[in-house]
Amino acid sequence: MAVIVDIKTFAAIGAGVIGSGWVARALAHGLDVIAWDPAPGAEKQLREKVANAWPALQRVGLAEGASQSRLRFVDTIEACVANADFIQESAPEREELKLALHEQISRAAKPDAIIASSTSGLLPSDFYARAVNPQRCIVGHPFNPVYLLPLVEVLGGERTAPETIDAALHIYRSLSMRPLHVRKEVPGFIADRLLEALWREALHLVNEGVATTGEIDDAIRFGAGIRWSFMGTFLTYALAGGDAGMRHFMQQFGPALELPWTKLIAPKLTGELIDRVVDGTAEQVGPRSIKQLERYRDDCITSVLAAIGEAKARHGLTPAD
């Protein structure tokens, strides 16, 4: 099966939070980008989002020829995908919508173009069921902001060809991403399963009045969050076992897993809980606009990535290690 490995034209279907992030990343890598989104005013909003992301992308370093002017916004799905080498769908997370959309996208796409979906946890075998040439269809699940965070989870459905997975891994690497091939097709993949478990516990803590949303965020950002950005949970815990290592750690903290401290089942989203979360985060946001906060977040992410990259280099590692 022929799949395109070196891409020149990137198509973005859906230009919301995630789609605009893909557009910004692809433009920063010197690609031509064609976008389509059915919402009124979508083009203006997309161009504003890309402009807001651009200073951070300049700090990271733009590829030769990278320019916001290489974005073309079109009126139909067909015009968006017809000449694209790589198509990234970032439409709303509804299976029926993605099922119909991918039937249309795959009919209009070049036969050797790769089609990827940003879905957060739907199964590719399900929503590519009506796609033409499903062997070239994959999931490429990114993280917000897509133009800065390197991780993208890649997985195929039952009918995806292994060559497509290999080509997608290569293409995402060429966009300076760190693809992670998910071995099994499971709902929620890897990262969102972990994040949802944390999110459920955080909501319980708010619901029970144990902590405010800001205090819970403090518990992450001054502690585990800093470690997670370069070591993850398992290697961190291997060190927590001291010289005796991971086996000792498992013996020491195993009993706590039996208690258990966590609730696992999500709390009911009552009006009161929603109010507490919304009011709590509004207080954290304060007078800052979302665009201002995005620039603050981007500044912190680029600084953290640069600092970790330098530290890794001192230990003989690359940013992708």
Ligand X SMILES: NC(=O)c1ccc[n+]([C@@H]2O[C@H](COP(=O)([O-])OP(=O)(O)OC[C@H]3O[C@@H](n4cnc5c(N)ncnc54)[C@H](O)[C@@H]3O)[C@@H](O)[C@H]2O)c1
Q: Which tokens go with 84?
A: 């694209």
Which C-beta is closer to ligand X: that of 125 or that of 236? 125
Which C-beta is closer to ligand X: that of 142 or that of 156? 142
Give the CA distances from residue 123 to residues 145, 171, 220, 239, in Å, rounded to whole numbers and listed in that order.
23, 21, 30, 36
Residue 21 Cβ, how far from ligand X at the closest point, in Å? 8
Shortest-Cβ-distance residue relative to ligand X: 16
Residue 98 Cβ, how far from ligand X at the closest point, in Å? 7
Q: How far apart are CA 304 and CA 236, in angstroms?
A: 18
Which C-beta is closer to ligand X: that of 97 or that of 307? 97
Residue 119 Cβ, how far from ligand X at the closest point, in Å? 4
Which C-beta is closer to ligand X: that of 193 or that of 247? 193
Count the neighbouring beta carbons within 10 Å of the beta carbon of residue 95.
13
Residue 9 Cβ, how far from ligand X at the closest point, in Å? 18
**What is the tally of helices (H) and strands (E) in the chain?**
13, 8
Q: Which residues bind ligand X (CB under 6 A)?
A: 13-19, 37-39, 42, 90-93, 97, 101, 118-120, 141-144
Which C-beta is closer to ligand X: that of 48 or that of 310? 48
* Closest listed residue to residue 171, CA positions, set 136, 199, 198, 144: 136
Helix residue ranges per DSSP H, the chain: 17-28, 42-60, 77-81, 95-108, 124-127, 162-174, 191-207, 213-219, 225-228, 232-240, 245-258, 271-285, 290-314
